[in-house]
C-alpha cells in the first residue's frame, strides 16, 4: 500500500530535525548533512529501512583517526620510540576511549538503530558507539577535508590524548598491572579469553584477568590484545579503589 505523501513529508521533517540535533551535539556544521545520516545508520536500522549502513564510513574513519593521532603524537613526543608511540596511539584509539569520548556529547542518543537493537540498549553499547564515532570522523573528512577532521578529532579526544601522553605506561596496562601486584612469588597474572561477541566482521573479544588464580576483572576489545589490556586497566582501577 502506497504511503500518503503527507506521511512521507512528516517523516522527512522528523529526520531533518533529528540530523540537525545530532550535528549540533557533534559540534560540526555540515555542508552536506546526508553524510552525517550515513554515518549514524547502524546495520540493524539499515536492514529494516533498506538503506546503506555506516560500516564503510567506519572503515574510512578508522584510517583518518589513525593518521591524525599518529601525526599529532609524532610531533609532540619527539623523543619517544616507535614502540612508545604505538602503545600511546593504541590507548587513544581503542574502543573504550572512543566510547568514553562519544558519551561526553551523547552520540549514542543519535545513532539510528533497528527496533530490536534500540530495545536492548544498543545506543549505550561501546562497540556500536565507538564504531559510530569513527563513522562520524569519516563524514567530517568527506565534508570538510582532513583539516576539519583533524580539528574535530583532537578536540573531542583531548582528554584521552592527555591521559595517554602523561601516563608512563602509555596504555600498556598489562605491564603496569604486573608491576603493581608482583611481590616475590605472589602476584602471578594470567589472562583468558572468556567470550567472543558479534559477527566475524565486527568481532569483539572479552578477556578476564586472574591474579594468583583469582579472577580480578574483565574487559572488552576489538582484538584479544585490546581485551586483555582493558581487563588489566579495569583490574588496576579495582585495586586502587580497594587501597
| Domain parsing of the chain, residue ranges | 5-166, 173-242
| Mean pLDDT on 29-46 | 96
DSSP 68: H
Q: What is the pLDDT of residue 1?
A: 41
Is the predicted pLDDT of residue 207 greater than 90, yes or no?
yes
Burial of residue 208 (number of CB atoms within 10 Å: 0-12, 13-18, 19+): buried
Contacts of the segment 217-220: beta carbons below 8 A, 24+ positions apart: 218/194, 219/96, 220/95, 220/96, 220/126, 220/127
Q: How far apart are CA 39 and CA 57, in angstroms?
A: 6
pLDDT confidence bin for 222, thresholds 50/70/90: confident
**Are the CB atoms for 229 and 209 separated by under 8 Å?**
no
CATH of 173-242 given 3.30.160.20, 2.60.120.200, 3.40.718.10, 3.30.460.10? 3.30.160.20
Nearest CA-CA partner of 229 in 93, 69, 61, 74: 93
| pLDDT tens, position by position, 57-103 | 999 999 999 999 999 999 988 888 898 898 889 889 988 899 999 99
| pLDDT tens, position by position, 125-154 | 999 999 999 999 999 999 999 999 999 999
Tell me whether domains 5-166 and 173-242 share a fold.
no
Residues with catalytic function: 62, 134
CATH topology of domain 5-166: Ribonuclease iii, N-terminal Endonuclease Domain; Chain A (1.10.1520)
Q: What is the pLDDT of residue 2?
A: 47
Report pTM: 0.74
Amino acid at each position: 500500500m502506497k504511503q500518503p505523501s503527507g506521511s512521507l513529508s512528516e517523516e522527512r521533517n522528523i529526520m531533518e530535525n533529528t540530523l540537525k540535533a545530532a550535528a549540533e551535539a557533534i559540534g560540526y556544521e555540515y555542508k552536506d548533512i546526508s553524510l552525517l545520516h550515513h554515518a549514524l545508520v547502524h546495520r540493524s536500522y539499515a536492514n529494516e529501512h533498506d538503506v546503506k549502513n555506516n560500516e564503510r564510513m567506519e572503515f574510512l574513519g578508522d584510517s583518518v583517526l589513525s593518521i591524525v593521532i599518529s601525526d599529532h603524537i609524532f610531533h609532540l613526543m619527539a623523543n619517544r620510540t616507535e614502540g612508545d608511540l604505538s602503545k600511546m596511539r593504541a590507548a587513544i584509539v581503542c574502543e573504550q576511549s572512543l566510547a568514553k569520548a562519544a558519551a561526553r556529547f551523547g552520540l549514542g542518543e543519535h545513532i539510528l538503530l533497528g527496533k530490536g537493537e534500540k530495545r536492548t540498549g544498543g545506543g549505550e553499547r561501546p562497540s556500536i558507539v565507538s564504531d559510530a564515532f569513527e563513522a562520524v570522523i569519516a563524514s567530517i573528512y568527506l565534508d570538510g577535508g582532513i583539516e576539519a577532521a583533524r580539528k574535530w578529532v583532537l578536540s573531542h579526544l583531548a582528554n584521552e590524548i592527555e591521559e595517554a601522553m602523561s601516563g608512563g605506561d602509555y596504555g600498556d596496562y598489562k605491564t603496569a598491572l604486573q608491576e603493581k601486584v608482583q611481590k616475590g612469588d605472589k602476584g602471578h597474572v594470567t589472562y583468558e579469553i572468556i567470550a567472543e561477541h558479534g559477527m566475524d566482521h565486527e568481532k569483539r573479544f572479552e578477556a578476564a584477568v586472574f591474579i594468583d588464580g583469582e579472577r580480578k576483572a574483565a574487559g572488552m576489545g576489538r582484538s584479544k590484545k585490546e581485551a586483555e589490556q582493558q581487563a588489566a586497566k579495569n583490574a588496576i582501577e579495582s585495586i586502587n579503589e580497594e587501597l
